[in-house]
Structures are given as C-alpha cells and as structure tokens.
Chain A
Amino acid sequence: MSSAISTEKDRAAADRAGLEPWQFFLLAALGCATAVTFLARGEGPTAIILLSVLMGAAALVGYAALRAVRPLVLPDEERTMIVGQRTRAALEREKLLALRSIKELEFDRAMGRLSEEDFSEMSGRLRARAARLIKELDAGAGYREQIETDLAQRLGARAAEKHVAAPVCAACKTANDHDAKFCKSCGQPLGR
C-alpha cells in the first residue's frame, strides 16, 4: 500500500529532523487522506471515509511500531524503572484511601451501623496505618535508595565500590543522608 511506504519514509525523516515522530505520522495521515479525496473523486462519501480510515489505521500502526522498537535502541542510562517499589504517588493514594476509610467509618457510626468499641478498634487500626504512611512520605522512602543507586551508576564504578547505606535514625526511623551527623527530623545524634 502506498500509505505504508510513505509512512516509512516519514519515519526516516522524523529521525533525521529530531522532531516528535507522531507529528510526522499525523501529517502523513492527513496527506494520505487528501490524496484519497482526490483519488476517490466520484466514488461517494463512503469510499472516501473508508480509505481515510484505512490510511489513519496505517499511520497508527507505523507509530505504534516505532513506539515498540524505539525503547530498544535508546541509550542504557534511561533505565529508571523501579520494579517492586512503590512510588510516591502510590503512597499518597494509599494515605488518601486510609483517610477515606476513616471518614466512612465515622459516617457508619453516625448512621448507627457500628458500635463504639468496634469503631475505636477499626479506626485505630486505620489511623495507625495512615500515620505510618505519613511518616514514610515524610522520610521520602522509596526515592532515596533509587536516587542513590542511579547516582552510583552515573558516577561509575568508583562511587559504586564504596556503597554507603543511608543511616536510619534510631529514634524516629527517618532515613538520613549518609554524611549526616544529626537526624534531620528529630535532631537526635546519629550513632554510626
């Protein structure tokens, strides 16, 4: 198909020009659609729409193919994926959910669906959970180690050799910088 060929060309052009590739695919699709309109003159609107849809689909295929292949040839440095670690956003969401659940409990109690002791037990558990999440968020857990390892990678082998664990404050469990002498959260001296 002609559209397939033209999108191939456009892909090459996109790489040379260094522009966002999807722009070229869009342009190519529009160009093809225009060509279709001229080619399919006198064939009724159905044919024109159909051919345009086909062109659009071809452009979409080209773009998706690019999207599948490009990550493979990108430089290695861009590996920033955290597998198995929760991101900050996830923590925030967890916290919000815990708070929501507390709200709901309060509502249930007001509706008379929950006895006082059950409420205090369940909400106590949820509050403890929320508190833990808040602390984690404060300490920035999850990011810290990630940044450390990324830094270590970028600085090369030299930094990686002497890998230093982040000292954790004995009093409040906050993770501190490895050269810190006092905890940044509660001010306790950090015993090394």
Chain B
Amino acid sequence: MASLGSALLLATFVVCSYAAVVSVAGARRRSRRLVESGIGAFYLIAALMIAASAVMINAFLTNDYSIKYVVHYSDSVQPLFYKITSYWGGLDGSIMFWVFLLSIFGSIAVYVNRERHRELVPYVIATISVVQMFFLYLMIVHRNPFTTYLRAAPAEGDGLNPLLQNVYMAIHPPSLYTGFVGMTIPFAFGIAALVTGHLDDSWLRAVRRWTMFSWLFLSFGLTLGMIWAYEELGWGGYWAWDPVENAGLLPWFTATAFLHSVMVQERRSMLRVWNVTLVIVTFFLTIFGTFMTRSGVVQSVHAFGDDPVLAKLFTGFMILILVFSFSLVVWRLPLLKARNELDSWLSREAAFMVNNWILLFAALFVLFGTMFPTLSEAVTGERLTVAGAFFNKWMAPVGLVLLLLTGVGPLLAWRRSTIGNLVDSFLWPVAAGVAAWAVSLAFRIPLWPSGLCFALCGLVVGTVVQEFWRGARVRRKNTGTDLLTALVGLVGRNKRRYGGYIVHVGIVLIFFGFAGNAKKLDEQVLLHVGQEAKIGRYTIRNNGIKVSDDGQKQMTTAYLAVFVDGKEIDGLYPARWAYRRHEQEPTTEVAIRRTPAEDLYAVLGGFDLADQSATLQLVVNPLVNWIWVGFGVMALGTGIALLPERSFAFALAKMPAEAVTTTIAMLLLVLVAGARPASAQPGMGGSEDTRSSYYARTPFEKQMQHEIVCTCGACGHQTLAECRKDACSTSHQMRGELAAMIDQGKGHDEIIQAFLAKYGSEEMLGAPVDKGFNRMAWLFPYLIGATSAIAVAFIAVKWTRKSDAEAVAAAPLDATIAGRIDDELRDLD
C-alpha cells in the first residue's frame, strides 16, 4: 500500500507538470486540443489525490504500522474518528491534505468557470499546478508521508497527540486549511488576468465568491482554534497571540481588506492595482503562515518542529511568488491605470481606504510582532519574547478604530456626503452608541477600552438596524408590499450588501465578547476536601477527587459544587487525563458552566489523592459565549452573501424560516457542544505526587507572575501565572525564585534585573526591554503606521487634484434603446 501511495504522489507530480505546460502552450497557440487536455489533466490531479488520500486513510484504519507516519500519529485503541483525522495530524500528512484540497477546489473552480472565463482558465490551471508541484516536490524529496520502515515495523503506534484528540481540533485544521487553500484560487485568477491582460472587472467576479468562501472557513478555523484553546489548553482565555494563531490571522486581515476594496473597484473602478496586490499578498501570507508554523522559525505551542530544509525550500518558493507576481503587476501597470478620483474625504470610498489602511497595518504589525523574536535573534543573537500584552496594547486601538469604521462607513455616501445627509444618517446610530455607553457606565465599566468598545458596538448595531429599516421602507414604497416582505426582498435582492451587514452584527457580538474581558476574574486556590473558595458571586466547594480508567487514558476528576447565595446550583468536574504512551503530558479537561452573561471556568491544576486536595484555577469570563454566537451570525451573513444569484426566488420564499432554524441550530450546537462538563466514571486507585504550586499570595506577586513568561518553550510563552502544567518544571522553578525574591523584599525593577542577570537574555520578559535593537519593536509599529498613513494621504491628494480633468461626456442615448433599458430595468426586480 505504501509503495502505491508513493507512486500516486509521483504520478500526480508528473501530471501537474504536464497540465501546467500543456495549458500554457495551448493558450499561446490557441489550440483547443491542448487546452482541453490540460483541463482533463487538471481533473486527473484531483482524481489521483483522492486515490492517494484513500490509500492513506486505508493505512490508518487498517493499522498499517509499516508506514512511519501511521506509527507516529495513530495507535490501535484510538477511536475511528480520530484515526481518520490523524491524516492531517502531522506535517507530512497535512502537506498532502493541502494538495488534496487544492486539487479539489481547483477542479471545481475550473469546472465552474471554464465557459465563462475561457481565456483565463489555462493560466489558472498552470498557476495552481505550479503551486501543487511545489508541495508535491516537498513530499517526494523531503517529507513523504508514505515512508516505510526499512526493517521490522513496530507492533503498535505512538498515538495522536492527546491535545489533538478533541472534536474542535479534529475539524479546526481542515477548516483553516480550506481557508488557506481557497485563497490560492483568487491568486490563480489574478495571475491569469495579469498574464492575459484581461484586467477588467470580470476576473474579480470570478474570485469574489471564492474569497468569501475561503474567508468564511478561515474565520471558522480561527474560531474553532479559539474554542479549542479555551477548552483544551486551559489557559482561561481564548487568544494568546501565539505565532500559529497569528499565522491564520494574517491572511484573514488582507482577505477582509480585499473583500471591502473590491467594492470600490466595482463601484468607482478605483484601486485596481491595489486589489491585485491584495490578492497576491493574501496568497503569499497563506504560504508564509504555513512556512512559519511548519519550519520551526518561530517558537509556539503548536509549531510543528524544526526543519531547516523545509525552511529553505519554502523561502525559495516565497521569493519566487513575490518576484514573479509583482513583475507581472509592474508589467501590466499601464493596463491597470484607472480613472481615479476622490471627491471628498467624507465619502464611502475614503472610508474604505482608511479601512484598508488599518487592516493592512494590523497585518503588518502582527507579522512584525510574530517575527520579531526571530529577527532579533538574527541581529543581536539574543532570543526574546513578544507576548500577548504587547499585541493587546496595539491591537485594542486598532480593533476599536475598525469597529468605528464598521459603524461609520455604511452611513457615508459614495463620492461625497453633505452635512444634511450626515446629520440625517448619523443621528440614530450615534444615539444608540451613547445609550450603550450609558449602560456600560451603569455597570461601572472603565471607558478605556471596554466602555468605548460597548459604545461602538451600539453605534454599529444602530447603523445596521437603520440601514435595514430605511432600505425596507424604500422597498415597500417601490413594490407596495408589507414591511416584512419588503425586508426579505431587500436582503434577497442585495444579498452581498445585507449579508455583509449581518456579518457586521456578528463582528459586533464578537467585540462585545472581547469587551467582557474587562470584568474577568482569575483566582488560584488550593482546596482541601470540604473547603470553599469564593470567586465573584460564586462559591466553590471541593467534594473530593476520583480516578478512573477507560483503557486509553487515566482520568483524574475533581468533584466541585457551585453555590450562589448559599444555594447549590451546579457541579463542576474539571479533570486531568493521562493518555497511555503520553503520560508525561496529561491534558487538562476544563469544566465550564456556561451562561449568556458569564462562564465559570475551572481548571484542575494539581491534586493530592492522599488528602483529596486540589489546586484549582478558577476564572469568571463574562460574555465569552457571545464570541461564538457572533461567529454563528457571521457565518449566516456570509452564507446569505454567498447564495447564488438564481436562488433569489427560492430565498424570497424560504429565507425567514431557514434563517431562524439555522441560527437556532447553530446556537444550540455551540452551546450544547461546549456545555458538556467533563464526564467521569467514579473509580478508585492510582496516585500522583503533588507539589505546592507557588500560587500568588499578594497582588504584587500576581502582577509579577503575569509579567514574566515561562521559558520552557512548550507552553508558547505563557506567563508564570498561566503555565501550570505538571510537566513544566521550568515555570515551577521560576515561580519559586520569584517567591523567594519577593520574600526578600525586592522591588519590581530589582526582580527584573535579577532575572535578566540569571537567564542572560530577555526571553522571559513578556515584552522586549526598550533599548538598543529592541527599541525597534516599540518604534516599528509607529513607523509602519506613519508611513502607510502618508502613502494613503498622498494617493488621496493626487486623486483629488485630477478629478475635474476627465469629465465624462455621456452621449445622449437614442430613444428606442433608452426605452428598452427602461423596460428591462422594470422586469429585472
């Protein structure tokens, strides 16, 4: 079976090169035979990859331990579902899975567009085939998933990493991959348009859907990653600016920018160079993200190992992409020149430009922050850490400005807004924003950043509601129906616009959830049997610890009772699972009590079976569920925007019922999937030693624990307060040192100096010290911000100047044709 798999991969490589060469030759010689054969070969790639994947899954399901990959990522006791997901559990398989997805998506894209964009298709095929060839080359020469043992094969596999044995983790990578891979399609169409010179808006229409689709899956993947981090890693939070998370976020920013700026090109035929550039950059960032996470360039919780060869190959490929695509852009610049004019800063297109600027700034900043440790190591030879606090400091204002634009943008008119219509359209949204702020004041929420966030959420919701309301009113007047029908018809007629507004509501809910962080409570306690601890309005009692075993793993569960106002309302069962063959890294099974207002979150940090005591991390996370709900709303909005043009009649009839059921189903799914506390069968036996865990005794110690990060390298630079794995002796030791220093009465700066002296580098500081080369880290964001702002302003001023020069002389139409246009317009609705 293994040799069959290898042979299939080799054959795919050959077919890829054939498809690329034949398509380009066919397009240049205008030979239908060659082009058709290229299309056939392109489908053949997909067929071959399906066959290869079938071979791979077959190997996993039949426990074929002669294949190294199967041994590393599976064992015989693993459930069937995780055996299948092991396919993409490791590096080699994930590359193969990448090619598999790309071949399928590519085939669909070519099949759909082969008539509509005949002149583009050969080059699309060539581009995608070359990308596939790169990944196939990686597999064939360097990382063949079908590598076998030369001598006797082991009798049993190592098993999938227990952290990955989680439903979210099983679907998180494919979803993220779908997003990543999907971005190749717009790139291929962009390149094809550049090569053929068909640079009108038609290629954009071919890729808009694909970008939206990929964007949706990228968002879905990121959300799943957040849920996974929240539930499985036991951080107490959902986003830690880990390099792997950032890798997914980077193309998300640029894709979002593209989805917005595309509208400007459609409406005003501006920003054409910019749109091509965004497509290229987005694709580049997907490759870069893969490179970052797979080659060991950055340290992360789930970076997949050091691999210098892979790093070199990827670097070469990335340089090739950049040089090739941007030379094409430069070559086609004369064709991309558009009639650019910006009439006013108070216009929708100006808002879009600012939105693009902010999104790009965010992407560059995250890229920079993620790569800074590597850069600094290359320049100064000293590895340091850029942790969550540094990102949060910068990204909070960026996010808020984006949120503001979400509210303001739709209210501005194209070209220019007059004072009159500004007052008219801003009145209600601003009122809603002020009301939201007042409510947040009533809850004693500080203005920065959470209070402001609530106010902006109010503004955006006000905007969206007003847009729907006014749109429906206009439509009711035009069509003479009742308001509800008009509303549905409105969404059906302008799926993209109103789908987009629904996405905005989803974004608001997500920000609403983020803002809840202001009231987050975090406590660490050691509880003996019968002891109680208070957090927020909850009282937690330890009822004892039990151990059980299900053959695959040993489960230690703490039984906690939750009281509110003296009444027992619920039980929480946080656990630690030690998998066979992975005893060194027990997984934390978080127990969460979910309510719309807040989550009570308990992590079993350590335990002593002898006296049944448990060290617990207790967190109250307000509003956190709204993030997941927000994603559901976003998915709904994107789904509406993605509905095909023809589904209008169908949508008109069925939309409300469907939308309601989908939302309810999604909400239920999210809540039910999350609400199950760790199940545990009571049992006895087993023991484990515990260590005292240096939980913070004073606020000062707590602050210091949050400021210094663990250097063990396995936890993704969590702070000392967060890195509580049993296996992590580093953080334990560091906490001990910290506690000793505090006992000696040392102050903040003294302690930092002592740590710097002891560890010889700044790796354990959450953010680089502001001096020398590291000053770069603090200066750079200002630098990019300022440069790009100047660039945007410059372009805008340039465009403003030449606005009057080219007035369009709209030739008067002859009466018959004008009549026909009016007729068709009437029939169109």
Contact = CB atoms under 8 A, between A and B. Distances in A.
A146 B136 CA distance: 40
Interface string A72-107: 101010111111100101100100110110111001
Most central of B32, B62, B424 by chain A CB within 10 Å: B32
A103 B829 contact: yes
B54 A50 contact: yes
Interface stretch (A31-39, A120-128, A158-166, A173-181): A120-128
A100 B119 CA distance: 25
Interface string B26-38: 0100111111111
A78 B34 CA distance: 12
Given A67-B43, A125-B808, A111 B821 contact: no
Contact of B31 (A61, A79, A104, A121): A79
Contact of B196 (A67, A84, A111, A121): A84
A95 B4 CA distance: 52
A178 to B, nearest CB: 24
A70 B40 contact: yes
B151 interface: no
A132 B243 CA distance: 52
Interface string A122-139: 001101101100110000
A83 B810 contact: no
A46 B48 CA distance: 22
B813 interface: yes
Contacts of A13: none
A115 B343 CA distance: 13
A interface bracket (residues with beta carbon within 8 Å of B): 35 or more
Interface stretch (B357-365, B413-421, B661-669, B673-681): B413-421
B529 interface: no
B31 to A, nearest CB: 7
B739 interface: no
B249 interface: no
Interface string B811-829: 1010001101100110011
A90 B116 contact: yes
A71 B19 CA distance: 13
B202 interface: yes
A54 to B, nearest CB: 5
Contacts of B620: none
B396 to A, nearest CB: 32
Interface string B668-712: 000000000000000000000000000000000000000000000
A130 B821 contact: yes
Interface stretch (B470-478, B769-777, B796-804): B470-478
Interface string A16-55: 0000000000000000000000000000001100110110
Contacts of B470: 111-112
Interface string B407-437: 0000001111010010011000000000000
B40 A64 contact: yes
Contact of B47 (A54, A57, A70, A103): A57
A127 B119 contact: no
B118 A82 contact: yes
B57 A74 contact: no
A110 interface: yes
Contact of B828 (A103, A108, A111): A103
Contacts of A90: 116, 202
B413 A60 contact: no
B54 A64 contact: no
A118 interface: yes
Residue of B4, B494, B810 with highest tally of chain A CB at under 10 A:
B810
A97 B676 CA distance: 49
Contact of A61 (B51, B425, B828): B51
Given A64-B44, A68-B40, A79-B33, A87 B118 contact: yes
A71 B205 CA distance: 29
Contacts of B414: 108, 113-114, 118
A6 to B, nearest CB: 15
Contacts of B280: none
Contact of A71 (B15, B33, B478): B33
21 contacts: A50-B61, A54-B55, A60-B50, A60-B51, A64-B44, A68-B41, A71-B40, A72-B34, A79-B33, A83-B27, A83-B30, A89-B116, A99-B821, A99-B825, A102-B825, A111-B471, A112-B425, A125-B810, A128-B810, A131-B818, A135-B817
Given A61-B48, A64-B44, A99-B825, 4 more contacts: A61-B51, A68-B15, A72-B37, A81-B118
- 6 smallest CB-CB distances across A and B, nearest first, come from A68-B40, A71-B36, A67-B40, A124-B810, A57-B51, A81-B32
Interface of B: 4, 15, 18-19, 27, 30-41, 43-44, 46-48, 50-51, 54-55, 57-58, 61-62, 80, 115-116, 118-119, 196, 198, 202, 205, 413-416, 418, 421, 424-425, 470-471, 474-475, 477-478, 494, 808, 810-811, 813, 817-818, 820-821, 824-825, 828-829
